[in-house]
Amino acid sequence: MKKLLMLLLVFALSFSMLAGCTPAEEPAAEEPAAEEPAAEEPAAEEPAAEEPAEEGKIAKLGLGQVISTSKSKPKADDANAQAQADVTIAAVGFDADGKVATVTVDVAQTRVAFDENMVVTSDKEELMKSKKELGPDYGMVKASSIGKEWFEQMEAFEEWMIGKTVDEIKNLEVMERDEAHQNVPNVPELTSSVTITVESYIAAVEEAWNKSVDATGAETVGLGIETHINKSKDATADAGAQAQVDTYMAATAFDADGNVVATIIDNAQVRVAYELDGTLATDTSVEGKTKHELKEDYGMVKASSIGKEWYEQMEAFEEWMVGKNIEEIRNLEVMERDETHQNVPNVPELTSSVTITVEGYIAVVEEAAEMAR
């Protein structure tokens, strides 16, 4: 019996040991991870194509002018002498394709009258007005076959030029209306709005293109004009009378914040001289030149304390204005050099490059800002 119990005990222990040795569950075999696609190498960047310049966006700035004294009159038995300076001025913004993006044309038509003794009778202290500044007071409408004043006709002509190249403008078909109007527009878009002769206006726009400068970033362009006759002289016992018409002009391009991007400033200093007997001493058939156009022939360098000609000093002054707004330009510190030079720049950036008096030039840039479009 004892033997049987011992066998049963051995059997139970063996069974228990076998149960304890059952192999643990093997972890499920890991399935191979799906192969990740190879990271694509970034495609080589192609150089960005340059965006074409936006049509109509100002890229260049030009100032052009035509100066004539041909309508000046000598003293006659039945009429006194009268000098006349016609300074036609165009401020133009061109786009990258050379098309007109914005344009302003005006004329400083200035007359200096004399009495029978060749004494100036015009008010020498008066600031003379351009045709646009005169507006309805210019008085063309009463003689106009279409009932439009000069400024209205010019606005129509300016609008016609927008989007055109200088060549297209020069090729405008014209007709002769009479001896004094030999180049009147003869195209359907203008016949009912422009009856003035336009040759000098086209010539000024062409010169603006030929002498244009970079104005990238400009949003508007303005024209400023200021004309004085205060240096005109009466006749004396030994010298004939002389009319002097000084027309300051500025074509200025401004960015969206009103800062100067580029500016071109010039001065048409027009003199009409008379002999003692009141006959003309000046050849009025010759077209006049501005100070910029005269360059070395203006002859300032010999009197300059810094040895610089007028155009060189003006270029330095123009460069100083770039990036500045009108208030900064107006607040330029100046000094009196002598009685005729009361507003000479007095800042380190300009003292070695500009010794001319600058009040008139600042005034026309300020007007350009007011008129900018």
Give the model confidence (pLDDT) of 184-231 as tens digits.
999 999 999 999 999 999 999 999 999 999 999 999 999 999 999 999
Token reading at 98:
């050379």
**Rounded Cα–Cα distance for residues 358 and 365 (Å):** 11
Helix (H, G, I), strand (E, B) or coil at 254: strand
Give, rounded to a whole angstrom, the gap between the first and last alpha carbons of the chain: 128
The list of the chain residues with pLDDT below 50 reads: 1-50
pLDDT value, residue 207: 98
Within 10 Å of residue 170's Cβ, how many Cβ atoms?
13
**Residues 100-117 pLDDT 10s:** 999 999 999 999 999 999
| Exposure b/e, 238-257, CB count within 10 A at least 16 = b | eebbbbbbbbbbbbbbbbee
Whole-model pTM: value is 0.84
* Alpha-carbon 254 to chain mean position: 8
- Residues 175, 199: contact at Cβ < 8 Å? no
pLDDT value, residue 265: 98
Token reading at 135:
């507006």
Q: Where are the domains of the chain?
A: 60-288
**Rounded Cα–Cα distance for residues 147 and 157 (Å):** 16
Inter-axis angle of helices 199-210 and 150-161, nearest 10: 40
- Residues 262, 213: contact at Cβ < 8 Å? yes
Strands 184-185 and 213-214: unpaired
pLDDT value, residue 54: 65
pLDDT value, residue 340: 84
DSSP output for 70-105: TT-B--BTTB--EEEEEEEEEEEEE-TTSBEEEEEE
pLDDT value, residue 55: 66
pLDDT value, residue 86: 98
